[in-house]
Structure 1
Amino acid sequence: MSEASMDVDTVDEPHAQNLSNRLNWLRAGVLGANDGIVSVAGLVVGVAGATSEQLPILTAGLAGLVAGAVSMALGEYVSVSSQRDSERAVLSQERRELAEDPQGELDELAAIYESKGLTAETARTVARELTEHDALAAHVEAELHLDAEELTSPWQAAGASALAFTLGGLLPVIAILLPGPAWRVPVTVVAVLVALAVTGAVGAWIGNSSPWRPTLRVVVGGAIALAVTHGIGVLVGTAVG
């Protein structure tokens, strides 16, 4: 590989990394919306099986929506905070190693590029020039595949998860409140299954796979969840009544 081609790869790689980050965020958003759809739909359909009164259904839907969004946000915040702490720790370790043994770190960086197919001379040149430009960035990108300036934000992750869950959960709440009592459950089931089919197809598209099998899985799973929760609601409503 020539130095010119190496320069092209170095320029293109951040774009590929940014695209990968965006796709990961989109995938997380789809999964969050899917969770919101299924979780809240199960609640409102279950309550609708027990009673035809609108207020208990609305209360259950809103309670499930808020609780689920908070739970998703908290879980994502804790998870990403742990990840960020780990990233900061390895960045601190890399800074310390660069300060204590710059020559050894330069040799290590050159060896990484040589293992990727560069000649020893070219790898040494690339490692030296990148180190002179920004030693820390060069090492964390090559060794750890991190960007020291763009660590994952736990607040952004928490907000995105809560928003995705909320948007997904609003669908069954709206769907079950708009029709009359006789049509509430059928309309909600149809709306939920269509929405799950969309999220399944989008998730498959993000993963570059055929949409049919993932879409079928998520639709069948959602249908089973709705059938079970509605059945429980009917049994409870019958027993109480």
Structure 2
Amino acid sequence: MLEVVFDNGSLGGADWSNRAVVLEALPEPLVAGYPAEGAYVQISDGSGGIAASGWFSVDERNATETHASVAVVWREPLMAVEHTYKSWTGLVRTRDISPVTVSPGAAPAWFGEYVRPIHERAAVERTLQAVRESANTERANHREWVRRLSESACEWADENSLCSEFERFCEQWGLEGRERDFDVEVNVTVALTMTRSARSQEDADEAVDLDDVRQHLRDNFSYLDVNFTVGE
């Protein structure tokens, strides 16, 4: 057996800063259709890139014929005697897993113990994500229920001439009231540019009077349905 020295601190309460032997032979795959535990593989990201490369492990509790939760562990620097270990986890399709012909060697003998807490952490993260998604769905469904209830209540209030009472009720309970049409008056100030022939800017400014402004508005903005007044 080969003997290597590695330094990886601790994971899941276990101390991996010691000397260990490597696996002499790969075990049988935990899940049919997937590589054996400790096989050195490459994980594709599904778009032509590489998500991770390293020793492979599958979580048999979350595996189907098409995809599974897997962990990949590798060491850095890759071929150095003194090194640290890193890991990657994700839901992977079987077609995105491929063997690597050139590898740093067999997985350490403690590989199974090392990946166990990694799989457990990934399972907890998936559970939390599912809970968050479920909560978001429940909130969205509740908002939709409140919206439909408010619409039905608005129709009932209109049909029974209870509009004012209904509006007070909605305001008291923080519900959406009825939508109605309102007229909104908006005051807009417009700056115009008119061309005048003159010997100076001052003469040109003095040549423009209110009648010129009104005529300019009529000539250039007649297509707008607006009422306008010209300030002195």
Flag whether TM exceeds 0.5 (same fold): no
Q: Which has the bigger relative contact order, CA under 8 A and spacing at least 6? A: 1
**TM-score, with structure 1 as normaliser:** 0.22
Which is helix-richer, 1 or 2?
Answer: 1
Larger-Rg structure: 2
Which is strand-richer, 1 or 2?
Answer: 2
